[in-house]
A and B are shown apart, each in its own frame.
Chain A
Amino acid sequence: VAESSISVSATDTRDRIPRSTIRLLLLLHLCIVAPLAGLLSPWLIALSLICVAWRLAIEAGRVGYPGRPAKALFVLAAVGMVVAIAPVPLSLDTAARLLAVTFALKLIEARHRSDMLVAVLLGYFVIASGFLFEQSPVFTGYQLLMLAGLTATLVALQPTADIQPMRAQLGMGLMLIAQALPLTLAEFIFFPRVAPLWSVPVPGLSVTGLREQMTPGEVAELARSDALAFRAVFESEVPAQRDRYWRALVYSDFQAGTWAVGAEAAQGPASAASPPVDAADPFNPVGQRADQDQPGRTFDYEIWLEPHASTWLPVLEQPLVSAVSRDGMGRSPLAGRLGAGAPRRSFTPSALLRAEEPVLGVLRYALRSRVGADRQEPALTAQMRGINLRLPDQESPRLRAWAARIKAEFPMPQAFVERVLLNIRAERFHYTLNPPALPREHSIDTFWFETRRGFCTHYAGALVFILRSVGIPARLVGGFQGGELNPLTRHVVVRDYDAHAWVEYWAPGSGWTRVDPTTAVAPERIEQGPQAALSPADRATISGIAGARLAGLVALEPWINWIDSIDHRWNVWVLGYDTRAQNDFLSPWLGAVTPGRLALALTLAGVLAVLVAVAFPRVLRTRMTVRLDQARAIKTYLVFARRAGRCGWPPLAGETPAAHVQRVARGIDLNDRIAKTSIATLQRVLYAPTADVHAADVAALRRMLCRVSGRLLVHRLKTSTP
């Protein structure tokens, strides 16, 4: 009996890992750990690379597997390195580091398929932990590829009779992930969002953006960064560029050339009466004045603050309503940890909003602000007055004397401020991002009388100093000014380079009044944004995308806006999809969003998603391969028609392919059987329902038509030679 009886035992290949699979896994390991490189120390990265190199050497047969002592050494070294970075035993980043290193160590230790499976599972875990540190859409796409790669490794680790090509395995991995996406979406939408089960250690992000201390010069660093600070979505109208003063921090302490938040923070949250209240505010029933009585306009807006690991929360000018969303806090480990209604943010005496814990995820809060009017406050408390008048005794005597002279001339605060600004306009002051360095002592004297070059912090700091020195309470406000309006989603994008500093002083009768000395030296900064105020020399110091953005490259702008709008929608729909968003999204369909209804909806959507996933490869096949087969069949006929044409039998106008072949066959007295078969095959391939056409049919057609055209050629040679 001629039979190939296959009796390869299925177990003998079970434990050997194909070399290609190991290479794939090593590559994936590098790609998966790379996004976490910022968390790892150079030593840890070196250790990972050594592991990869060792494994490659094992595969090449140069070295053996590490012995017991070597393994112990590696583990000790890894743990030591992780502990050296952060001795805190169980913080999130420590856990992520340990995971990444374990993943690497498992690679050299794994001999058998089962060990490799553990390595793959660890890889999945590392991918998930990577999302705690970065969540952008691009990164998500990258992580999806990594997931598909790991899944392909899992496929490759399955023992099979014959070795599958790597491409097929990767295709299988991609297909599995693609098929899982509809179901994932259903789960994402309908899976109930629950409050954290227990409190978790908080990732130790490094503080970015504004600092609580400011030495003139630091904001210049910020001005070179184009990192996103926050996005603001306005309910209806967007205030003008020059009115968009986003207050974030108030620097009250001045010491040795550095402004610090100091006393303001030490005071802690203010009493409820401290922020100006609004009659319309449901949370403040004891509203004092109606909106209409005050000059200025109110704006309702929502802020999507990017994580900065600090506690400041920017507010537009003068916040009125503490309509901070009670449950809607993006992805923050702080969300929901406290009971409902417990204050998680509070206003400071300076009418600023502070979070109680560092902002580590995209944070969303809604506010109402008044713009364009002075802050009407009944009176300045003695404590606030003291804080806002404090100055170091010996600092900058020249400027003190100068200010005292002016004060004698202009006793009213408003007039005094006008006079000082006039001085800035009149003297040769310059706005630049690259000012000369100032000494620690008498730095303001040096700036005001000698260098006269600086940017917002220099001018604002000097003005606060002048005001305080003559007894006018004043404070330095740090925050952002302006921001670009994205026309696609009508939100304002505020980036680090929009960071700005200005002054608020107390004028009896009108309260805290904003004055921005930068308008005196570089009004275009306020009117048009940071790029307008920069000199060519300044621009040269800014590089990359920040430079391009600041330079206002017109061609790039739509793209930048488009990308930013996608980012924003991602924030709103994906990252910010929490209990409240789920409720808002589903209540039109489900009515009350109860766990029972969610479960029902999840089941229905899940079944649907699985059906879609199962149908997907079939649809893919018929759409792609069958069309291709038919196209090949047509091409085969066209080749035949060209050959026939060369022999003097071109297709006639309006003749169908089958009629053409039949005419040729009759003309050359072709064997009846060959003619009939080829015509039948042609008819079937060209006119059968697409699903019934197979590659084999096309091959048969090609053979048939080749025979016909061969006969035709012979016929022609026979008839032409005599």
Chain B
Amino acid sequence: LRARLDRWLDERVPATPTVTLSQRNVFIFPTPTGFGFAGLCLLILIGGINYQSSMVLGVAFLLGSVFVLTIIHTFQQLSGLALVLDGPARVFAGEPIVFRLHNLRLPPPDRRRVVRAGWPGSPPVWLPEPGAGKASLPPLQARRRGRFRPPRLRIESRYPLGLLRAWALPAFDLSVLVWPTPDFALTWQNAADDSVPVGVSGQSMNPSRSNSGDPTDGTDARPFRPGDRPRAVLWRAWARGWPMLVRKADAGSVAAVPETEWLDFDRVQGDVEQRLSRLAGQALLRHDRGVPFGLRLKTQVIPPERGAAVLRQAHLSQVMDALATFRPLGENLSEDSARG
């Protein structure tokens, strides 16, 4: 039933880049308070009939009319809202993804909007007035690499009386590319080159605490001391708010990094996901140190880039995107990998 409802919803309210709320996509239903209020009206109506009192009937009619008009008021809370969702273009798997909601449409100046928006299962936030900025929605998490599409947003209002709840479940035509969580531990499966160490630190990555967890996973790190080589600094970790760390193994020499030009999927140990994570870790490390590298991902080959910083950055993105969207059997990339 759930699935059928979802299918019906997808047909009725398809995903669009900008969502304008109208009769098509706004639903409305009484809240428990609303049912209580309706019951109260009915009780008063019966009282008025039994006591043949015009005035008591009048009260029942008035409250009933208020209820009817509240339908319109509550609907108008959502109707006409033009919403746009924006979010980061790329994240690591397990990282929080914060989407932000804009309200584009200027409402009539005399109408006050009290609207909440939120993901299913998380506390909603207030929708700001147009021009008053964006609402940062509670963070979502993409557990797996690939294309992440946010679930249907739940936008609701009970204003003005709380008797009715109007809600909309818009789907935004928007996706985030989720890079694999980098695993800095490296184990070459096919150790043709003996000089390459088997695993930089021997620790294996723990996916559960990967999210904003220790970015030095897999490397021995120590706090920065003056005199350390700048290249040894874990800049990526620092950029994420960690203290300045340096690789222990590295602080003295750069030589610890294997000078392999090519990161090859087939030469990394582990199952598909582990391999991708490790390749991602190596790619990041190499990028950090300015070591040119290429990627061989089965049929997909990305040659090394030795150009300027901007080009190298683009190269890293290309590599990471390839890792994110890689399908082991060469199937086409499906876009709904991470919905829900």
Seen from chain A, the residues whose Cβ lies within 8 Å of a Cβ on chain B are 3-12, 92, 114, 117-118, 121, 124-125, 127-129, 131-132, 135, 140, 143, 147, 151, 154-155, 157-158, 160-161, 164, 168, 172, 176-177, 179-181, 183-184, 187-188, 191, 194-200, 329-333, 335-336, 361, 574-578, 606, 609-610, 613-614, 617, 621, 694
Cα–Cα, bound, A330→B53 (Å): 8
Cα–Cα, bound, A132→B50 (Å): 11
Q: Mark B119-161, 1 if CB is under 8 A from A, else 0.
A: 0000111101000111110100000000000000000001111
In the complex the two chains form, is A179's CB within 8 Å of B135's CB? no
In the complex the two chains form, is B162's CB within 8 Å of A157's CB? yes
B68 close to chain A: CB less than 8 A: yes
What residues of chain B lie closer than 8 Å to A124, measured between beta carbons? 40, 44, 59, 63
In the complex the two chains form, is B46's CB within 8 Å of A197's CB? yes
Question: Which residues of B, 58-115, contact A by the 8 Å Cβ criterion?
Answer: 58-66, 68-70, 72-73, 100, 109-110, 112, 114
In the complex the two chains form, is B136's CB within 8 Å of A5's CB? yes
10 further contact pairs, Cβ within 8 A, besides A124-B44, A135-B53, A198-B50 = A3-B133, A8-B125, A121-B37, A132-B56, A176-B161, A187-B65, A191-B61, A196-B51, A576-B54, A621-B110
Q: List 18 A-B contacts (CB under 8 A).
A: A3-B133, A4-B128, A9-B125, A11-B123, A117-B33, A124-B40, A125-B44, A129-B47, A131-B55, A132-B53, A160-B114, A184-B62, A188-B58, A195-B49, A333-B51, A577-B54, A578-B52, A614-B72
Shortest distance between the CB of A9 and any CB in chain B (Å): 5
Cα–Cα, bound, A196→B57 (Å): 12
In the complex the two chains form, is B123's CB within 8 Å of A10's CB? yes
What residues of chain B lie closer than 8 Å to A330, measured between beta carbons? 52
Residue of B nearest to A609 (CB): B65
A4-B132, A4-B133, A147-B62 known; A125 vs B40 contact (CB < 8 Å): yes
In the complex the two chains form, is A5's CB within 8 Å of B62's CB? no
Shortest distance between the CB of A494 and any CB in chain B (Å): 23
In the complex the two chains form, is A6's CB within 8 Å of B132's CB? yes
B118 close to chain A: CB less than 8 A: yes
What residues of chain B lie closer than 8 Å to A194, measured between beta carbons? 49
Contact of B59 among A121, A127, A609 (CB under 8 A): A127
Shortest distance between the CB of B283 and any CB in chain A (Å): 28
Residue of A nearest to B157 (CB): A158
Cα–Cα, bound, A155→B160 (Å): 5
A6-B126, A196-B50, A574-B55 known; A128 vs B44 contact (CB < 8 Å): yes
Residue of A nearest to B126 (CB): A161
What residues of chain A lie closer than 8 Å to B126, measured between beta carbons? 6, 8, 10, 160-161
What residues of chain B lie closer than 8 Å to A117, measured between beta carbons? 33, 36, 162
What residues of chain A lie closer than 8 Å to B132, measured between beta carbons? 4, 6
What residues of chain A lie closer than 8 Å to B162, measured between beta carbons? 117, 154, 157-158
Shortest distance between the CB of A137 and any CB in chain B (Å): 10
What residues of chain A lie closer than 8 Å to B46, measured between beta carbons? 197
Cα–Cα, bound, A188→B128 (Å): 41
A155-B161, A184-B58, A333-B51 known; A7 vs B66 contact (CB < 8 Å): no
Contact of B124 among A10, A132, A158, A198 (CB under 8 A): A10
What residues of chain A lie closer than 8 Å to B49, measured between beta carbons? 194-197
Q: Mark B267-301, 1 if CB is under 8 A from A, else 0.
A: 00000000000000000000000000000000000
Residue of B nearest to A176 (CB): B66
Cα–Cα, bound, A574→B61 (Å): 14
In the complex the two chains form, is A10's CB within 8 Å of B125's CB? yes
Cα–Cα, bound, A74→B77 (Å): 42
In the complex the two chains form, is B133's CB within 8 Å of A9's CB? no
In the complex the two chains form, is B64's CB within 8 Å of A187's CB? yes
In the complex the two chains form, is B160's CB within 8 Å of A188's CB? no
Shortest distance between the CB of B79 and any CB in chain A (Å): 12
Contact of A575 among B50, B54, B61 (CB under 8 A): B54
B43 close to chain A: CB less than 8 A: yes
Shortest distance between the CB of B53 and any CB in chain A (Å): 5
Identify the interface centre among B62, B64, B126, B136: most chain A CB within 10 Å of its CB.
B62
Cα–Cα, bound, A187→B60 (Å): 10
What residues of chain B lie closer than 8 Å to A621, measured between beta carbons? 110
Identify the interface centre among B37, B40, B48, B61: most chain A CB within 10 Å of its CB.
B61
Cα–Cα, bound, A118→B36 (Å): 9
What residues of chain B lie closer than 8 Å to A172, measured between beta carbons? 160
Identify the interface centre among A128, A151, A610: most chain B CB within 10 Å of its CB.
A128
B222 close to chain A: CB less than 8 A: no
Residue of A nearest to B51 (CB): A333
What residues of chain A lie closer than 8 Å to B37, measured between beta carbons? 121
Shortest distance between the CB of B329 and any CB in chain A (Å): 41
Cα–Cα, bound, A187→B63 (Å): 11
A117-B162, A158-B159 known; A6 vs B59 contact (CB < 8 Å): no
